[in-house]
């Protein structure tokens, strides 16, 4: 079940198994700014309510519009704890999700690596150029970081 509510129409007591995810599209409303006496556009965040648990979320069940564009950012949908590869970088490019995968992304691609996944010889982020199976969280994290570095 998916439903959309405005932030100001949200009830205090949400359903038992409902989770809210911020939508990409903001509600834009033009009103008079009382401080400057000019018309200003105010944005309000709208939320998508879903009963899909965070550990069950994937790219396959990412909510989309009829034109196939995503309704929510994939980082918000997958609840990724986004981190920077380097403290000097201005954007995040990797992070862990409650579904047990470590994701690496850039402006061109995104991919999740989990324990038990096979990394092929042609996979971005495979610096050894040999096929291997991810066995530890650290190995999944390193592969996701390498993937983010390769596609950026």
Domain end marker among 13, 39, 74: 74
Token pair recorded at residue 119 = 């990394």
Residues 96 and 63 in one domain: no
Residues 91 and 125 in one domain: yes
The boundaries of the domain holding residue 84 are 80-152
Domain end marker among 39, 74, 109: 74
Split into its structural domains, the chain has a count of: 2
Residues 60 and 85 in one domain: no
Residues 86 and 150 in one domain: yes
- 111-135 pLDDT, tens digit each: 999 999 999 999 988 888 899 999 9
Residues 85 and 68 in one domain: no
Rounded Cα distance, 27 and 115, in Å:
40
- 45-90 pLDDT, tens digit each: 999 999 999 999 999 999 999 999 999 999 999 999 999 998 998 9
Residues 152 and 92 in one domain: yes
**Predicted confidence band at 150 (pLDDT cuts at 50, 70, 90)?**
very high
């Amino acid at each position: 079940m998916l439903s959309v509510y405005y932030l100001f129409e949200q009830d205090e007591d949400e359903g038992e198994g409902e989770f809210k995810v911020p939508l990409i599209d903001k509600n834009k409303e033009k009103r008079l700014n009382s401080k400057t006496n000019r018309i200003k556009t105010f944005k309000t965040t709208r939320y998508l309510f879903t009963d899909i648990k965070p550990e069950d979320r994937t790219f396959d069940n990412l909510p989309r519009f009829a034109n196939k564009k995503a309704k929510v950012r994939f980082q918000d949908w997958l609840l990724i704890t986004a981190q920077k590869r380097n403290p000097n970088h201005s954007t995040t490019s990797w992070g862990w999700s409650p579904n047990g995968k470590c994701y690496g992304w850039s402006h061109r691609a995104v991919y999740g690596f989990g324990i038990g996944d096979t990394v092929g010889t042609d996979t971005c982020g495979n610096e050894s150029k040999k096929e291997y199976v991810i066995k530890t969280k650290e190995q999944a994290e390193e592969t996701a970081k390498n993937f983010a570095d390769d596609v950026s």
